[in-house]
C-alpha cells in the first residue's frame, strides 16, 4: 500500500476434502445439531448410514457433496446460512488471531453505541496517544491527527479497512475509559455468544495472548453480519480521511472477487495469516450467505507471507463454494435441502 495513504506495517493437519472428510463425519457416534440465533444450524458431528444409526443431517449431506480445498495447516470452519456447517478442520486449540480481533471490537462498539441506516454517530476526538501511534513502523495504523474530530462511523472504517491498531485503542478508551475496561466488555460479549475457547487481551489483536478458534470466530461472524452498519463497512473497498490525500484501501483483497462482502484480515508473526470471510452465493433465485474463518496460515514466518497464504487459501475455498454449492443444494429425490 502507498505509504502516503497509510502506514501498514503489521505486527510481528492433514487435509480433508469432500469424501476424505466424510469418513471422519460418518465415524462420529451421533449427529449433534444446534439451531442457533438467526436460523443457523451448527453441525459438530455426523451420523452413520445403515446399521440403525441416526440419519445424516441435511447439512452433512450438502457438505459430503462438496470437494472443498481445505488448507493443509491451521484451522478452518465454514457455514452456510439456513443450511449449516460445511465442516471444520484443524482442531479446537486456541491460537493467536491478530487483527481478526477487531471484529469483536467493532461488535462491542456498535452494541454499546448502535447506529441505524445512514447515521454516522457522534464525533470522537483523536487523542495524543492515537495520533502518536499513527506514525508507528511496527504495527498497522490509520493516519489520524491529535484534536481531529471523526465520526464513530468513520473510525469504524479506519478500524476495519486498514486495520488501524491506534483506532482500536482509541475507540476502546472512548467507550470504556481504558483498554483494560473495554477488554472486559469484549470478554463478556464473547461469553454471551458461546465463544468458550476465546481469550481477548487487547482491542487491536497486537497481543499474541489474544487467542481463539475458527469455530468460535465463526459464531462472531454470524452475529456481526446481522448488523447492517457493520455489514456495510466490511464490504467497503476503500475509504478516505479528511485532510489526507488519496484513499485508504481495505486490506481484504478477497473483496475483489464477485460476491465477497467481507469480513476481516489479521496477520502477525505468531498468528500467521488469518481471515474471516463472507460471500453470497446464488442458487437459482435464492442467495445464500456463506461464512468462513481461516486461521494460522504460515504461522511463525512473516506477517506478509502469512496474510498472503490466508488470502490465497480462502480464495480457493470461495471459488469452490461459488462453483459447487448450488449443485450441492439442489433437491435430491424431490426433497429440497432444509435447515
**In angstroms, rounded to a whole number, what is the distance separating the alpha carbons of residues 241 and 131?**
14
What cell does 199 get? 481469550
Provide the grid cell at 150: 471523526
Question: What's the residue count for the chain?
Answer: 339
Does the annotation count 251 as an active-site position? no
> Catalytic annotation on 99?
yes
- Catalytic site includes residue 140: no
Cell numbers 512473516 correspond to 302
* C-alpha to C-alpha distance for 8 and 138, rounded to whole angstroms: 9
CA distance 147 to 158: 16
| Positive or negative: CA dihedral 148, 152, 154, 159 | positive
Question: Which of 77, 85, 99, 267 is an active site residue?
Answer: 99
Distances (CA, A) of 113 to 51, 107, 156, 297, 334: 54, 10, 12, 34, 47
Q: How far apart are CA 272 and CA 307, in angstroms?
A: 7
Q: Round to whole Å and give the CA distance between 303 and 323.
A: 30
- Please pick, among 88, 141, 163, 251, the residue that the annotation labels catalytic: 163
Q: Say if residues 326 and 283 touch (Cβ distance below 8 Å).
A: yes
Buried residues in 84-99 as b, exposed as e (16+ CB within 10 A) = bbbbbbbeeebbbbbb
> Which residue in the list 89, 102, 185, 264 is annotated as catalytic?
102
CA distance 150 to 19: 51
C-alpha to C-alpha distance for 84 and 290, rounded to whole angstroms: 10
Angle, CA of 257, 261 and 263, to the nearest 5°: 110
Give the Cα separation of 100 and 276 in Å (integer). 7
What is the set of active-site residues?
99, 102, 163
Amino acid at each position: 500500500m502507498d505509504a502516503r495513504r497509510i502506514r501498514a506495517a503489521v505486527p510481528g493437519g492433514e487435509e480433508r476434502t469432500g469424501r476424505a472428510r466424510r469418513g471422519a463425519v460418518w465415524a462420529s457416534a451421533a449427529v449433534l445439531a444446534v439451531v442457533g440465533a438467526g436460523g443457523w444450524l451448527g453441525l459438530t458431528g455426523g451420523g452413520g448410514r445403515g446399521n440403525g444409526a441416526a440419519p445424516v443431517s441435511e447439512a452433512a449431506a450438502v457438505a459430503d457433496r462438496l470437494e472443498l480445498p481445505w488448507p493443509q495447516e491451521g484451522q478452518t470452519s465454514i457455514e452456510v446460512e439456513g443450511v449449516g456447517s460445511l465442516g471444520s478442520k484443524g482442531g479446537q486449540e486456541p491460537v493467536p488471531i491478530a487483527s481478526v480481533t477487531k471484529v469483536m471490537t467493532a461488535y462491542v462498539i456498535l452494541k454499546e453505541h448502535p447506529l441505524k441506516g445512514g447515521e454516522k454517530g457522534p464525533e470522537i476526538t483523536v487523542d495524543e496517544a492515537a495520533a502518536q501511534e499513527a506514525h508507528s513502523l511496527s504495527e498497522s495504523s490509520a493516519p489520524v491527527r491529535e484534536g481531529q474530530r471523526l465520526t464513530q462511523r468513520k473510525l469504524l472504517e479506519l478500524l476495519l479497512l486498514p486495520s488501524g491498531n491506534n483506532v482500536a485503542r482509541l475507540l476502546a478508551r472512548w467507550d470504556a475509559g481504558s483498554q483494560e475496561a473495554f477488554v472486559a466488555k469484549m470478554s463478556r460479549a464473547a461469553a454471551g455468544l458461546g465463544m468458550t475457547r476465546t481469550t481477548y487481551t487487547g482491542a487491536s489483536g497486537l497481543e499474541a495472548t489474544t487467542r481463539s478458534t475458527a469455530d468460535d470466530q465463526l459464531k462472531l461472524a454470524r452475529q456481526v453480519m446481522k448488523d447492517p452498519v457493520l455489514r456495510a463497512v466490511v464490504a467497503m473497498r476503500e475509504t478516505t480521511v479528511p485532510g489526507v490525500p488519496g484513499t485508504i484501501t481495505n486490506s481484504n483483497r478477497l473483496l475483489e472477487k464477485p460476491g465477497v462482502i467481507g469480513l476481516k484480515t489479521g496477520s502477525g508473526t505468531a498468528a500467521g495469516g488469518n481471515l474471516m470471510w463472507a460471500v453470497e452465493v446464488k442458487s437459482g433465485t435464492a442467495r445464500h450467505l456463506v461464512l468462513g474463518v481461516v486461521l494460522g496460515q504460515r504461522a511463525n514466518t512473516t506477517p506478509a507471507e502469512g496474510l498472503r497464504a490466508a488470502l490465497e487459501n480462502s480464495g480457493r475455498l470461495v471459488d469452490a463454494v461459488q462453483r459447487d454449492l448450488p449443485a450441492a443444494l439442489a433437491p435430491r429425490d424431490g426433497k429440497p435441502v432444509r435447515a
